[in-house]
A = this chain, B = another copy of it.
Amino acid sequence: MRDKRSDSQKFARLRSAPENFISDEFVSEVRQHGWDDSRRSFIRKSLMAAGAALAGGGAARAATQNQPDQMITKPRPWSTSLGNPVAFHPYGQPSKYEVNLQRRQSPGLTAVPQASVAFSPLQGMFGIITANGLHFERHHQGWVDVDPTEHRFMINGMVKNPKVYTMDDLMRMPSVSRMHFIECGANTAMEWGNVAVPTVQYTHGMLSCCEFTGVPLKYLLQDCGADFKNAQFILAEGNDGSSETRTISMARAMDDVIVAWGMNGEMLRPENGYPLRLVVPGVQGVSWVKWLRRIEVGDKPWNAKDETLGYVDHMPDGTLRQYTSIQECKSVITSPSGGQALLSTGFYNITGLAWSGRGKIKKVDISVDGGKNWKTATLNTPILDKCLTRFNFPWSWDGSPAILQSRAVDETGYVQPTKSQLVAVRGTRSIYHNNAIQSWQVAESGEVFNVHVE
């Protein structure tokens, strides 16, 4: 018995969500911030209907192994003709068949796309490294392509010798390369409410991981003679129209912060801060100031715009919690995940990502029954400090409904909370720092949905 869908549909369905998964209804819903269960049900029903149509009633699923005739009887053009020359793309590009795997904007989130988000397609990604073309974006006034020969980086404030560095000055200095995750503090923000955003691209896609190269900030602070006795904080300032500024403690600045130009072996991309950005391992993305032009050394936090008007936590008692920078331990199953469809019963590799702003990942447990029973996943190596860790877990699907969850533990012993555990402390008015366990429901049809369970 063969699957009635075409191979093309199957391949696309397993790896990535369809292009227009975010409906207009959903967009206006997000704009209103009027989240309720009846709206969610509407979205889920639409998806179920679409899924059932694609799956031919949900019944026609079967394995496709052992059909050697397919290969022997039909020689393909690529094996019988001369291919393309080398350096056809002097800078290489993905296959034309991968065009649906790309960053996507959720147009409902902000008024203009210059102050918005483009999410990474985690559902179709592998390992821990994010290919630079798929790195998530979040801008406050749009991205700029800064001329590196004109770019200057200044250190001033409580320093003996204020200095201005060119890119050439910086790139002569001692450098390090480190793999670290970067996550926007607002990642998974929609899940604070009762809306269940349909795909992992939109629930967790403000998350990427690269090998960053640059000069440790401590060397530069030493070079300028920072007043280490009295200074307590630094301010990092970006060179775009929003002049984004963030306060960072001197203790952190002297630890593992990097003034970086490299990203996965090449220069930073313009939308990720070319030619210079701050890398602040373990800390939310807003502090990784892009197009970095200045660091000021001081003795008080600056209470900048993005430390007061935004990037604060609305607590249940009505207070605002400020300067919660660290991204706590978190994990998510990236496949199977919302919007994907299981093609048949049988074996699947459940795979996903775990990370912690406080160090290394120690353990990831998996549940396929909504949290009743847990088994330990295999962690892919190397397991690095403040870096994504890929986990894999073998699962045989028997065709009955299932709820898939992952729960990470970091080296400090911190255990990723359930949503209700998190809400008990934080309430539901927050935007930032949602690190709750994510649940994906596998329906009998094989379709996978985002659900909120206890």
| Nearest-neighbor residue (CB-CB) of A91 within chain B | B133
The answer to whether the Cβ of A399 comes within 8 Å of any Cβ in the partner chain is no
A352 to B357, CA, bound (A): 30
Number of identical protomers: 2
The answer to whether the Cβ of A44 comes within 8 Å of any Cβ in the partner chain is no
Most buried by B among A269, A271, A349: A271
Interface residue from B6, B85, B103, B268 paired with A149 (Cβ < 8 Å) = B6
With contacts A128-B177, A241-B80 taken as known, whether A134 is within 8 angstroms of B265 at the C-beta atoms is yes
Are A265 and B126 interface neighbours, CB within 8 A? yes
The answer to whether the Cβ of A96 comes within 8 Å of any Cβ in the partner chain is yes
A164 to B165, CA, bound (A): 59
The answer to whether the Cβ of A105 comes within 8 Å of any Cβ in the partner chain is yes
Most buried by B among A133, A137, A177: A133
Q: Which of A79-109 contact B (CB under 8 A)?
A: 79-98, 101-105
Are B79 and A239 interface neighbours, CB within 8 A? yes
Are B96 and A262 interface neighbours, CB within 8 A? no
The answer to whether the Cβ of A47 comes within 8 Å of any Cβ in the partner chain is no
Return A22 CB to nearest CB of chain B, in Å.
13
The answer to whether the Cβ of A365 comes within 8 Å of any Cβ in the partner chain is no
Set of chain B residues within 8 Å of A239, measured between Cβ atoms: 76, 78-79
Interface residue from B129, B165, B243 paired with A65 (Cβ < 8 Å) = B165
Set of chain B residues within 8 Å of A114, measured between Cβ atoms: 82-86
Are A91 and B91 interface neighbours, CB within 8 A? no
Return A315 CB to nearest CB of chain B, in Å.
30
Are A382 and B380 interface neighbours, CB within 8 A? no
Set of chain B residues within 8 Å of A291, measured between Cβ atoms: 78
Set of chain B residues within 8 Å of A330, measured between Cβ atoms: none
Set of chain B residues within 8 Å of A132, measured between Cβ atoms: 92, 94, 131-133
Are B86 and A113 interface neighbours, CB within 8 A? yes
Contacts A/B (CB < 8 Å), 9 sampled: A10-B149, A65-B164, A71-B154, A83-B241, A91-B134, A92-B103, A124-B266, A125-B265, A177-B380
Question: Which 4 pairs of residues, A with B, have the shortest CB-CB distance?
Answer: A83-B142, A85-B113, A126-B262, A127-B177
Which residues of A are interface residues toward B (Cβ below 8 A)? 6-8, 10-11, 14-15, 63-68, 70-71, 76, 78-98, 101-105, 112-114, 116-118, 124-135, 137-139, 141-150, 152, 154, 161-169, 171-177, 179, 210-213, 239-241, 243, 261-271, 274-275, 291, 293, 343, 346-349, 351, 380, 382, 384, 390, 392, 394
